[in-house]
Amino acid sequence: MGWAIAIHGGAGAILQSLTDSHRAAVEQALPELTEVGASMLRNGATALDVVEKATIALEECELFQAGRGSVLTAAGTHELEASIMDGQMGKAGAVCGLRTVRNPIQLARQVLERTDHAFVGGSGAEDLAKAWELDRVPNEWFTTERRLDELRRHLSDPDASRPHPATVGAVACDEKGFVAAATSTGGTTGKLPGRIGDAPLINAGTWADSRVAVSCTGIGERFILAGAARMVAARMELAGDSIEEAAKRVMASMPPESGGMIAVDTAGKMTLPFTSQGMYRGWANSDGDRGIGIGP
């Protein structure tokens, strides 16, 4: 059985605001971030461990929109969210409304493993992070000058189009054929405080079962209304679609330029479709197929 990993760093009209320097930084970072998970898979790590560690690496990279470098709410604060799901166990953990948890995906993993719940939010989630001694930081630690500029532009002209570079995530198939998915985000620039997107919602932004693992990125409300991540698995189970057909048809069923998704099945086949202008992405497998992408 061959292993495979795919990561994403957000989808949207990213080419509109992509400077040469930012493109160069992203093109350098994506192979390194993909290798975080690939090296683990080569050494026999489980898919669940891999997607957690790969997503932590994405959260720590301020080039993307999760953890450090997350966007700001209309109130000028950060509210982070994440989810993780293990296809082997059929269990998930999700968190939202985080203000001080350095790596939201770590807390989501702990919710999966240490509670009987699938979703914990707000002060309750913060209390768990404190009790479990996870790394916590001041809310302003997540802020970068780039995100401050984006908020200023949004507040000065709320109707202007935005690049929607939202959400990071990872999917993996390990050498035993088990799959897992993880997704993490800071939301959307200028969002209402308390707004929750698709990233922490199992079925919408994240899904993993005995067939496939999916992580979505883009305009969260559209993925929520489509139940997009779970719909890929449903098409494979009920309609007999291949992973490529299922993901493509789900994306095609949504409004234009909604975003994209990454998916891997238990045979290690991957697909990374998107309908937006671009999607930051990287992939690798045991057959030596590896690469990165930004635009079409």
* Separation of alpha carbons 270 and 292, rounded Å: 13
Query: Helices 122-131 and 104-114: crossing angle, nearest 10°?
Result: 80
Three-state DSSP string of the chain: CCCEEEEEEEEECHHHCCCHHHHHHHHHHHHHHHHHHHHHHHCCCCHHHHHHHHHHHHHHCCCCCCCCCCCCCCCCCCCEEEEEEECCCCEEEEEEEECCECCHHHHHHHHHHHCCCCEEEHHHHHHHHHHCCCCECCHHHHCCHHHHHHHHHHHHCCCCCCCCCECEEEEEECCCCCEEEEEEECCCCCCCCCCCCCCCCECCCEEECCCEEEEEEECHHHHHHHCHHHHHHHHHHHHCCCHHHHHHHHHHCCCCCCEEEEEEECCCCEECCECCCEEEEEEEECCCCEEEECCC
* Separation of alpha carbons 239 and 250, rounded Å: 12
Set 46, 143, 167, 217: catalytic member: 167
167 belongs to the catalytic site: yes
Catalytic (active-site) positions = 167
